[in-house]
Amino acid sequence: MRLSSLSGVLLLLTCLPSALALKAGDFKTCAQSGFCRRGRALAERANANAGAWTSPYSVDPSTLVIAPHEAQFTAGVKSSLYPDIKFGLDVRVHKDGVVRVRMDEVGGLRKRYDEAASWALIQQPEISSEIRWTAGKKDVRAVYGRKKEFEVVITFEPLRVTLLRNGKEQVVLNGQGLLHMEHFRTKEETPATAQVEGGEEGEQVVIKAENPRAWFEGESEDAYWDETFLSWTDSKPKGPESLSLDINFPNHGHVYGIPQRATHLDLPTTTGENPTFTDPYRLYNADVFEYLASSPMSLYGSIPLMHAHSPDSTVAIFNAIASETWIDVSHPTRSSTNTQWVSESGILDVFILPGPTPSDVFAQYATLTGAAPLPAHWALGYHQCRWNYVSTDDVRSVQKRFDEEDIPVDVFWLDIEYAEEHKYFIWDRKNFPDPVDMMKDVEAVGRKMVVIVDPHLKRSSNYPVYQEASELNVLVKPKNGEGEYEGWCWSGSSSWVDFFNPNSWDWWKGLFKTTVRDDGKFSWLDSTENVHVWNDMNEPSIFNGPEITMPKDSIHYGGWEHRDVHNINGMLFHNLTSQAVSTRSDPPKRPFVLTRSFYAGSQRFGAMWTGDNLGTWDHMAVGIYMVLANGVAGMTFAGSDVGGFFGNPEPEMLVRWYQVGAFNPFFRAHAHLDTKRREPFLLDEPYKSIVRDILRLRYSMLPVWYTAFHEGSLTGVPVLRPHYVMFPQDEAGFSIDDQYFVGSSGLLVKPVVQKGVTETSVYLPEDQVGIALVYYNYFTNYIYTGSAKGKNVTVPSALHQTPLLIRGGSIVSTRERPRRSSPLMKYDPFTLRVALDKSGNAKGDLYLDDGETYDYQQGNYIWREFVAGKNGKKGVKISSKDLGIAGRAGNEFEMSMESVRVEKIVVVGLGGKPTSVKLEAGGKELEWTYEPGVAADGKKEGEGSVLVIKDPGVGVGIDWVVVVS
Ligand code: NOJ
């Protein structure tokens, strides 16, 4: 590192949080959080009194109002504990069968925060006008579905919501009676007192009715008002307002989702059986320094979406709440799951997604919160980051080294040291004297830059961004609601823009413009439209705040406390930045904005990464589970830092990490300031060549990734697909999270995440279609035969080998010319690899467009389906046909790609040597070679036969048929 950058580094080190390793004590356990304690105690009382326990909440049938023309009703709810307090229930069935259940206190002392869903949803969901509620004496119910298979029942006394499918309970709310919405009260209300008897092991706890509510609420008012954690006191001016709810899946033994945390995809229980997970899962966005590789603790983002799965169906619930939430998971039996959700504030707003297949659930969730949009094509290339490239010349020399070594890369990143005193947008001119020239140098081969913009604004009179925010009065306020909240982050004393305040929006978007603003405010003149953005520290991370974040009693727009909106805060920053980046160019281009913090709906604004992982094998492994869990919860454009953020990985580990990264949707190497440089060109042989090959493999497969993203943008199905998503009835796959499929390409990968590995056992799923049953080694065409019951096979995985298989029945499109960056591949020809299934068939698709504008929305794209089908005994017919909407053929993009050919078709697993290979139209014999080998008939394992058809003379965007006889 050059001397001149040292001063910045020193300043920065003085700002670092005091701990350099996870101090678990910096973060609350459930026992240290008043409302979580109350929630768990409620569950304990219910368990101790099982059988005698009934929820005090009931629907008052006399208040039931059923909407005449749509599937909605409202009703009053009361609690027998507080007859004077009123609650309102609102239940709707959406057009797609999703059930939304809302409950709020009515006419209370204060208002509960009820806007979480409005930030998460893309629009107000359409209520069904066909489904009808029928009210009876004891309940109100609606039957729906194509075969009337679904029924939703709201039982009046006690209040219970049940979704059934074919008479079988799928989701039950308040079945255990743990619903509790603490009403607003004054501090003066008499404290509850009660006498407790019993409580010895095995004895029932009897609470004498001196305080008639104590059986339910407990004998003391535990942490109702101000609460202290370490040196911080939360003033809690609104008092208790927490919300507990049990959500049970009586017929589903596996639950997934609720990212983000470092654990397995199939969520372990938290209530006893698992000795390491004794706390509930926590959703409270936090900057957890050197987080553990296995823990229920919360991390940077929170998505309150949970899938529940069984061989019979997949269902999900989305609990639209923005405050701190704890979730206990237990399995009363192997095939059932109970969960309890306890949130600090907010209304009850639960969406029940009925499935019944994983793809139905993804579609239902995408209808609510949107699918991840198609990213810019370059964003799927390789990103090179480190904290920090220290000068414009440093960036240039890193780029030069990549080019000299022929290692592909698309994006160079700048971390916080580019900014003078960490005042984002303002270049440190000593080290970055010519930022625009540097960017132009990077852009020369179509590359891009990503530059960090954090949310903390240095409170400095010479920082226009802070000054303007202050003048606009759009900064978060401290607890009394007066002035500006002040905390510490990289930039020293800082303030935070309150993105809940609409007055901040246009101003923020304007900051990113590369031209002078009409309103005379700051804009980023020394930047170009090829600079995209990285939003970090947006939990928000505040070094001197409680749990390294903002005090919960800080005040946002509308008078809401930070406690009410905490988990959404980071998403708003990401949302506005993403809008800002997309409008810098005219016509707009697809923005790339990486975020660390996220919430339900964040998938609409860009990618995420798993934060500050460690350079250890454990972290490498858990990164895969975390990326899968994010995908399940909609946030599919995800990855973990290749190499590990902290530490200096040995070459073997670094190579394996590149293999993991190459099969992550977002592929970025990053490293902490204190680490040694570890760009791939610095590696010795053979490591350098291996990493080059991995990067080339990723680039050759960009068509696969782009096509998978395209599909996801239409369906909400994640790019990385876990086994339960692909094979929902194959129980052996329900807990598998170390291997997964890429889109619908048929590629099955199991990255190696251990030292010294030379072979890997890969699970071939039970075949539910009954025809595939063969898998091919991607690199050698070795055929593995599957089994109807599922089976493990051993795949070679020496350091240069990634266990990567193609499922028989797939056609994979690649581009095999090594280039320095992905834009340089734009007109490169395609190779199709046809991996036949047992009956000699295969299928695949390919989506292409200009990769950066929104022209594709006007039909400017190529979308082909390739189909291979048996032709006679040992032949095959392979065809390409249009998959796009009708009337789109001959669109501008397609025309611009006229010269782009399919240069090679490789057919693996044919039964014997063909006698002729011709184009159906034209009939000319094509050039081909044939290597005999094992056929894909599922009888034998071994090297598959390989037919290579050279240059069939067909364009990638047109219809054609190749006939192999
Ligand atoms: C924390 C981020 O997680 C890390 O990736 C980044 O390098 C540092 N902040 C400095 O910006």
The tens digit of pLDDT for each residue in 482-526 reads 999 999 999 999 999 999 999 999 999 999 999 999 999 999 999
The reported pLDDT for the residue numbered 770 is 63
If you average pLDDT over residues 683-712, what whole number do you get?
98
CB of 26 closer than 8 Å to CB of 452: no
Is 852 an annotated catalytic residue?
no
Q: Pick the range with the lowest mean pLDDT from 121-135, 283-297, 888-902.
A: 888-902
Those residues whose C-beta lies under 8 Å from the C-beta of residue 896, and which sit 6 or more positions away, are 850
Helix (H) or strand (E) holding 959: none
Q: How far apart are CA 564 and CA 461, in angstroms?
A: 31
Beta strand extents in 67-165 (DSSP E only): 72-79, 82-93, 99-106, 134-135, 139-144, 150-155, 160-165
| Structural domains of the chain, ranges and CATH numbers in brackets | 34-369 (2.60.40.1760), 377-524+536-557+566-697 (3.20.20.80), 826-965 (2.60.40.1180)
In a mutational test of the pocket of ligand 1, which residue from 415, 494, 541, 642 has the highest number of ligand atoms less than 8 Å from its CB?
415
Q: How far is the CA of 536 from the centre of ligand 1 (A)?
A: 7
Q: For ligand 1, what atom is nearest to the CA of residue 611? A: 3
The reported pLDDT for the residue numbered 669 is 98
Task: Decide if pLDDT at 668 tops 60.
Answer: yes
Task: Decide if pLDDT at 146 tops 70.
Answer: yes
Q: Which residue has 């009382």 as its token pair? A: 45
Q: For ligand 1, what atom is nearest to the CA of residue 596? A: 3
> Residue 502 corresponds to which tokens in the numbers above?
């609409």
Q: How far apart are CA 895 and CA 887, in angstroms?
A: 14
Those residues whose C-beta lies under 8 Å from the C-beta of residue 300, and which sit 6 or more positions away, are 260, 285, 286, 287, 288, 539, 570, 596, 597, 598, 611
Is 197 an annotated catalytic residue?
no
Task: Decide if pLDDT at 732 tops 70.
Answer: yes
Those residues whose C-beta lies under 8 Å from the C-beta of residue 816, and which sit 6 or more positions away, are 700, 831, 904
This prediction has a pTM of 0.95
Q: Which amino acid is at 163?
A: L
Q: Pick the range with the lowest mean pLDDT from 8-17, 365-374, 478-487, 654-663.
A: 8-17
In a mutational test of the pocket of ligand 1, which residue from 15, 537, 597 has the highest number of ligand atoms less than 8 Å from its CB?
537
Q: How far apart are the first and last CA of the chain?
A: 63
The reported pLDDT for the residue numbered 771 is 66
If you average pLDDT over residues 532-543, what whole number do you get?
98
Q: Which residue has 């700002």 as its token pair? A: 15
Beta strand extents in 827-944 (DSSP E only): 830-835, 842-848, 862-871, 875-882, 901-908, 917-919, 927-931, 942-943
Q: Which of 647, 652, 648, 598 is nearest to 627 (CA)?
A: 598
| 348-353 and 134-135 strand pairing | unpaired
Is 612 an annotated catalytic residue?
yes
Those residues whose C-beta lies under 8 Å from the C-beta of residue 765, and which sit 6 or more positions away, are 723, 726, 727, 730, 732, 733, 786, 790
Q: How far is the CA of 176 from the centre of ligand 1 (A)?
A: 43
Q: How far is the CA of 960 from the centre of ligand 1 (A)?
A: 50
Helix (H) or strand (E) holding 954: strand 946-955
Task: Decide if pLDDT at 14 tops 70.
Answer: no
Q: For ligand 1, what atom is nearest to the CA of residue 385? A: 7
Those residues whose C-beta lies under 8 Å from the C-beta of residue 58, and which sit 6 or more positions away, are 77, 78, 80, 156, 157, 158, 159
If you average pLDDT over residues 287-304, what whole number do you get?
96
Burial code of 290-315, b = ≥16 C-beta within 10 A, e = fewer? bbbbbbbbbbbbbbbbbbbbbebbbb
Q: For ligand 1, what atom is nearest to the CA of residue 670? A: 5
Task: Decide if pLDDT at 192 tops 60.
Answer: no
The reported pLDDT for the residue numbered 544 is 97
Task: Decide if pLDDT at 45 tops 50.
Answer: yes
Q: How far apart are CA 245 and CA 743, in angstroms?
A: 35
The reported pLDDT for the residue numbered 767 is 73
Residues with CB under 6 A from ligand 1: 387, 415-416, 452, 536, 596, 611-612, 645, 670
Q: How far apart are CA 384 and CA 382, in angstroms?
A: 7
The reported pLDDT for the residue numbered 21 is 63
Paired strand residues for 101:
91, 350
pLDDT tens per residue across span 551-609: 999 999 999 999 999 999 999 999 999 999 998 988 899 999 999 999 999 999 999 99
Q: How far is the CA of 147 from the centre of ligand 1 (A)?
A: 52
Alpha carbon distances (Å) from 534 to 9, 423, 845, 865, 913: 20, 15, 32, 36, 53
pLDDT tens per residue across span 932-964: 999 999 899 999 999 999 999 999 999 999 999
> Residue 828 corresponds to which tokens in the numbers above?
């490169």
Q: How far is the CA of 839 from the centre of ligand 1 (A)?
A: 51
The reported pLDDT for the residue numbered 205 is 47
Q: How far is the CA of 884 from the centre of ligand 1 (A)?
A: 42
Helices 651-662 and 687-700, axial angle in degrees (round to 10): 0
Per-chain mean pLDDT for the chain: 94
In a mutational test of the pocket of ligand 1, which residue from 645, 646, 672 has the highest number of ligand atoms less than 8 Å from its CB?
645
- At 166, the pLDDT band (50, 70, 90 cuts) reads very high
- At 7, the pLDDT band (50, 70, 90 cuts) reads very low
- At 788, the pLDDT band (50, 70, 90 cuts) reads confident
In a mutational test of the pocket of ligand 1, which residue from 285, 536, 598 has the highest number of ligand atoms less than 8 Å from its CB?
536
Is 631 in a helix, a strand, or coil?
helix
Q: For ligand 1, what atom is nearest to the CA of residue 612? A: 3
Task: Decide if pLDDT at 197 tops 90.
Answer: no
* Cα angle, residue 683 at apex, residues 3 and 442 outer, rounded to 5°: 60
Q: Which of 884, 833, 823, 819 is nearest to 856 (CA)?
A: 884
> Residue 571 corresponds to which tokens in the numbers above?
């998403």
Catalytic site residue from 454, 612, 679, 828: 612
Q: For ligand 1, what atom is nearest to the CA of residue 300? A: 3
- At 376, the pLDDT band (50, 70, 90 cuts) reads very high
Task: Decide if pLDDT at 3 tops 50.
Answer: no
Closest residue CA from atom 7 of ligand 1: 387
If you average pLDDT over residues 783-794, what whole number do you get?
92
Q: How far is the CA of 644 from the centre of ligand 1 (A)?
A: 12
If you average pLDDT over residues 278-299, what whole number do you get?
96
Catalytic site residue from 536, 737, 850, 903: 536
The reported pLDDT for the residue numbered 189 is 75
The DSSP string of 454-478 is -SEEE--TT-HHHHHHHHHT-B-B-
- At 769, the pLDDT band (50, 70, 90 cuts) reads low
DSSP 359: H
Alpha carbon distances (Å) from 132 to 66, 71, 159, 577: 9, 5, 20, 43
Catalytic site residue from 539, 564, 641, 738: 539
If you average pLDDT over residues 185-205, what whole number do you get?
55
What is the distance of C-alpha 170 from the center of its chain? 25
Q: How far is the CA of 412 from the centre of ligand 1 (A)?
A: 15
pLDDT tens per residue across span 869-917: 999 888 999 999 999 877 777 799 999 999 999 999 999 999 999 999 9
